[in-house]
Copies of this chain bind each other. A is one copy, B any other.
């Protein structure tokens, strides 16, 4: 868009200098809902993202131009483009910085996505919802892209099983993985790091024979929140396509009205 002569007469308050000598680490917009298309093999999947976009503002600049974030995002997500991936976002992120005339910045997005799953015994299929996301960040001219996924699973308490004459308390858990991908890794693969570590994975549609299978599978496979977080971390650690990572597991305890949780970050002693 060219600035028309009339528009040019409107004062541009944000471009004035500032003398408070304070760098703003992040300035931008957030909670912007915008559709996007991702790749769930073998085909693209349309979903809705919540976006957060910001730049670092040097101490001598008064303000940024908020509308340019939307302009960049609108172009990024237009029909006809390729499905978005972490790698593509990292590449296009440079255009955002250029458009905002900024050296450093960050874009974050989170969105639901779906994988069609086959129930373990009956074979009926249905779509399980996950949450995915990316963070692209540039600090001192160095850009990093993180991929995130939240996977719902079942956890069954080993202590409860061990000490009780029958039964064992179990509950829904959410496993959050955040990973720096050195090579592309599909959403299916990321999700499996979590599902394979759980007492049992979940399905939206289960017939009675499946429910029996899930119940017994979880009982045979008890895991503390500490086991879950370590088993997911072990899996990530052994995969050469994955660099730094962070795993967080939250158990919505069925014997309490609060959660148990655990976090592992790569690189800790």
The segment from A18-26, A90-98, A177-185 found at the interface with B is: A18-26
**B22 contacts A207, C-beta separation under 8 Å:** no
> How distant is A184 from chain B, measured CB to nearest CB, in Å?
23
Check A204 for interface membership: any CB of B closer than 8 A: yes
Per-residue B-contact encoding for A206-232, CB less than 8 Å = 1, 0 else = 111101101110110000111001110
A-B contact pairs, 27 of them (CB 8 A): A7-B122, A22-B264, A23-B269, A25-B264, A26-B263, A27-B225, A27-B262, A29-B258, A30-B258, A30-B259, A34-B129, A47-B48, A62-B226, A64-B226, A67-B207, A70-B204, A157-B211, A159-B208, A163-B211, A164-B212, A165-B216, A166-B219, A170-B171, A172-B254, A172-B256, A203-B256, A204-B258
Q: How many copies does the complex hold?
A: 4
Determine which residue in A24, A166, A203, A256 has the highest number of CB atoms from chain B within 10 A of its CB, and name it: A256
- Give the residues in chain B near A269, CB-CB below 8 Å: 23, 59
Which of the candidate stretches A9-17, A80-88, A186-194 sits at the interface with the other chain? A9-17
Minimum C-beta distance from A267 to chain B (A): 10
Given A6-B209, A205-B67: A226 in contact with B261 (beta carbons within 8 A): no
A45 CB to nearest chain B CB (Å): 8
Given known pairs A159-B14, A169-B170, A230-B20, the reply for A129 and B257 (CB within 8 Å) is yes
Interface size, chain A (Cβ < 8 Å): 108
Counting from the closest, the 8 A-B pairs by CB-CB distance are: A167-B219, A46-B46, A33-B129, A32-B258, A152-B257, A70-B205, A164-B215, A27-B262
Tell me the chain A residues, 42-66 only, with Cβ under 8 Å from chain B: 45-48, 54, 57, 59, 62-64, 66
Let me know if A76 is at the binding interface, CB within 8 A. Answer: no
CB atoms of A30 and B261 under 8 A apart: yes
Contacts of A256 in B (CB 8 A): 29, 172, 202-204, 206
- A interface, CB within 8 angstroms of B: 1, 6-7, 10-14, 18, 20, 22-35, 45-48, 54, 57, 59, 62-64, 66-67, 70-71, 74, 112, 114, 122-129, 152, 154, 156-160, 162-172, 200, 202-209, 211-212, 214-216, 218-219, 224-226, 229-231, 233-234, 250, 252-265, 268-269
B10 and A208 within 8 A (CB): yes
Specify the chain B residue showing the minimal Cβ separation from A152: B257
Known: A31-B258, A70-B204. 11 other contacts (CB 8 A): A11-B162, A24-B230, A27-B263, A28-B260, A30-B260, A48-B112, A54-B263, A67-B124, A159-B211, A163-B212, A172-B256
